[in-house]
């Protein structure tokens, strides 16, 4: 049955639409932190549909909200008043930390970042954008144009002039040997030098923790230091919170809060986890920025009632059950367990991340050379053991990405860590 579906997939869908595993699986249903495939195999899910199933699979509160809303009306567009959209926008505006915030809903993180770039370039009357090396911001034409990860940049053509800045990867690059203080200082000096050679850009767009890049991050405070330099020149800061938002990092509700000196970003983008699988993205910005467009605009599917109902129910559950706190506690235990396991595996270069956003970078033992074959082998071995994880990284996809639903419990964390330890040992 799976082979037949794979053949049909290959005959009608693009060749570049990636599939995991030598023998791809069809996931048919899920519950809590587990999913099942079409052959009846049960897996502990440590990737959540790419950090999207944020609370749990088949969460009753979300399912109930979607069912009840579907029984009333599914969609009407932004041309009409929409109570669920206003309700969710009010909650997100308050949680964002951005003063006088306005919220615009989209259907994905790509579209959210595309909208933020439109707002920034219009507001600043500049098409120059600063982005981080090793970054990923989506698959639209403009989002690809600010993506600093070769593996996810299918074209160099772009409507934007993009300049790439040091700092998103702590343990690689020309400043890797410095301590945190000097690392930040060197990155700031590099930014100042770059700005001295170009016309004033519109914005810096940056992920507080780089997702597709392999869960890499700078020392705390780097983006706050960048913000001071940018603010002097009127340059906006866009925090891409598509993967880091909603408490996933444990210590903070938003990734930008690890860099909070000087206040919040001018804009933040969000998506993935807020919908728990429903298609929600969005931008939060100060009113003067959000309202800078002088032409009409709508979103046919952004903010549609059924997705807003899901987002509200999911956000309520997240806050009422302190899933941010759970991510901090269980994520800390999981990271500690994985670091202990990795200490005995020469191929592991680094275990990094925060909360329930953990990366394991693999290299050829004794070197800094990426080993994507090893990452693929661990991915396969983990699946054989009953665990689903992801891959990423800016150096030939050699990092494992671990991001379970935020309701993960200690027993499941221990189970997943044991499976992953066996998978890592299997490549030696």
117: domain CATH number is 3.40.640.10
Same domain? For 195 and 71 the reply is: yes
Confidence of residue 396 (pLDDT cuts 50, 70, 90): confident
Same domain? For 258 and 111 the reply is: yes
Whether the pLDDT of residue 101 is over 70: the answer is yes
Confidence of residue 156 (pLDDT cuts 50, 70, 90): confident
Same domain? For 110 and 204 the reply is: yes
Same domain? For 245 and 124 the reply is: yes
**Final residue before a domain boundary, out of 320, 341, 370:** 320
**Run of H or E residues at 309:** helix 305-320
Same domain? For 54 and 71 the reply is: no
Same domain? For 90 and 134 the reply is: yes
Question: What is the average pLDDT across 84-110?
Answer: 98
**Final residue before a domain boundary, out of 287, 305, 320:** 320
Same domain? For 244 and 315 the reply is: yes
Backbone φ, ψ for residue 289 (5° rounding) = -80, -50
How many structural domains comprise the chain?
Answer: 2
**pTM for this prediction:** 0.96
Same domain? For 235 and 108 the reply is: yes
Confidence of residue 292 (pLDDT cuts 50, 70, 90): very high
Helix and strand numbers, DSSP H then E, in the chain: 13, 15
Backbone φ, ψ for residue 290 (5° rounding) = -60, -35
Among 144-153, 216-225, 302-311, 413-422, the minimum mean pLDDT is found in 144-153
Whether the pLDDT of residue 44 is over 70: the answer is yes
- The overall longest dimension of the chain from CA atoms, in Å, is 61
Confidence of residue 157 (pLDDT cuts 50, 70, 90): confident
Q: What is the DSSP letter of 201?
A: P
Domain, as residue range, for 15: 2-58+324-425
Same domain? For 146 and 239 the reply is: yes
Same domain? For 115 and 147 the reply is: yes
Same domain? For 189 and 286 the reply is: yes
Write down the mean pLDDT value for the chain: 96
Q: Cβ neighbours of residue 417 under 8 Å, at least 6 residues apart?
A: 334, 337, 338, 341
pLDDT at 260: 85
Q: Which of 250, 248, 317 is nearest to 91 (CA)?
A: 317
Give the CB-side neighbour count of residue 71, counting CA atoms within 13 A.
Answer: 6
Of all residues in the chain, the percent with pLDDT exceeding 70 is 100
Question: What is the average pLDDT across 199-226?
Answer: 96
Q: Cβ neighbours of residue 335 under 8 Å, at least 6 residues apart?
A: 351, 353, 358
Distance of CA 200 to the CA centre of its chain: 28
**Distance between CA 160 and CA 106 in Å, rounded?**
21
Same domain? For 244 and 213 the reply is: yes
Question: What is the average pLDDT across 131-143?
Answer: 94
102-134 pLDDT tens trace: 999 999 999 999 999 999 999 999 999 999 999
Confidence of residue 152 (pLDDT cuts 50, 70, 90): confident
**Final residue before a domain boundary, out of 282, 302, 320:** 320
Rounding to the nearest 10 degrees, give the CA dihedral for residues 194, 198, 202, 207.
Answer: -20
Helix (H, G, I), strand (E, B) or coil at 42: strand
Please, where are the H alpha helices in 98-205?
109-124, 141-145, 180-195
- CATH, residue 50: 3.90.1150.10
Question: What is the average pLDDT across 42-56?
Answer: 97
Confidence of residue 397 (pLDDT cuts 50, 70, 90): confident
Confidence of residue 151 (pLDDT cuts 50, 70, 90): confident
Whether the pLDDT of residue 372 is over 80: the answer is yes
233-289 pLDDT tens trace: 999 999 999 999 999 999 999 999 999 887 999 999 999 999 999 999 999 999 999
Give the CB-side neighbour count of residue 146, counting CA atoms within 13 A.
Answer: 29
- Asked if 387 contacts 420 with a C-beta cutoff of 8 angstroms, the reply is yes
pLDDT at 1: 64
Q: Cβ neighbours of residue 324 under 8 Å, at least 6 residues apart?
A: 246, 247, 250, 252, 253, 318, 355, 406
pLDDT at 277: 95
């Amino acid at each position: 049955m799976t082979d037949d579906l794979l053949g049909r997939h290959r005959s009608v869908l693009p060749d570049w639409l990636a599939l995991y595993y030598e023998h791809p699986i069809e996931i048919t249903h899920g519950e809590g932190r587990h999913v099942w495939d079409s052959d009846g195999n049960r897996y502990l899910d440590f990737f959540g549909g790419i950090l999207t199933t944020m609370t749990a699979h088949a969460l009753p509160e979300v399912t109930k909200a979607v069912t009840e809303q579907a029984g009333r009306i599914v969609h009407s567009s932004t041309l009409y008043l929409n109570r669920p959209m206003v309700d969710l926008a009010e909650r997100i505006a308050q949680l964002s930390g951005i003063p006088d915030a306005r919220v615009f809903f989209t259907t994905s993180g790509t579209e959210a970042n595309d909208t933020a770039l439109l707002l920034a370039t219009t507001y600043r009357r500049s098409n120059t954008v600063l982005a981080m090396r090793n970054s990923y911001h989506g698959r639209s034409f403009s989002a690809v144009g600010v993506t600093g990860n070769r593996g996810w940049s299918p074209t160099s053509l772009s409507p934007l002039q993009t300049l790439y800045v040091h700092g998103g990867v702590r343990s690689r690059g020309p400043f890797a040997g410095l301590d945190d203080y000097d690392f930040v200082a060197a990155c700031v000096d590099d930014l100042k030098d770059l700005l001295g050679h170009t016309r004033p850009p519109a914005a810096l767009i940056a992920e507080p923790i780089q997702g597709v890049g392999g869960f890499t991050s700078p020392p705390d405070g780097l983006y706050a230091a960048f913000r001071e330099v940018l603010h002097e020149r009127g340059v906006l800061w866009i925090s891409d919170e598509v993967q880091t938002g909603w408490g996933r990092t444990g210590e903070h509700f938003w990734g930008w809060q690890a860099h909070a000196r000087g206040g919040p970003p001018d804009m933040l983008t969000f998506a993935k986890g807020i919908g728990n699988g429903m298609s929600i993205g969005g931008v939060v910005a100060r009113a003067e920025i959000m309202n800078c467009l002088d032409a009409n605009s709508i979103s046919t599917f952004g903010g549609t009632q059924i997705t807003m109902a899901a987002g509200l129910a999911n956000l309520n559950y997240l806050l009422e059950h302190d899933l941010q706190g759970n991510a901090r506690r269980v994520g800390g235990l999981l990271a500690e367990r994985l670091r202990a396991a990795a200490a005995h595996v020469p191929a592991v270069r680094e275990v990094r991340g925060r909360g329930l956003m953990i990366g394991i970078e693999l290299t050829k033992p004794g070197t800094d050379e990426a080993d994507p074959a090893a990452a693929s082998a661990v991915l396969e071995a983990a699946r054989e053991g009953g665990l689903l994880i992801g891959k990423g990284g800016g150096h030939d996809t050699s990092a494992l990405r671990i991001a379970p639903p935020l309701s993960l419990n200690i027993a499941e964390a221990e189970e997943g860590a044991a499976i992953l330890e066996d998978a890592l040992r299997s490549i030696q």
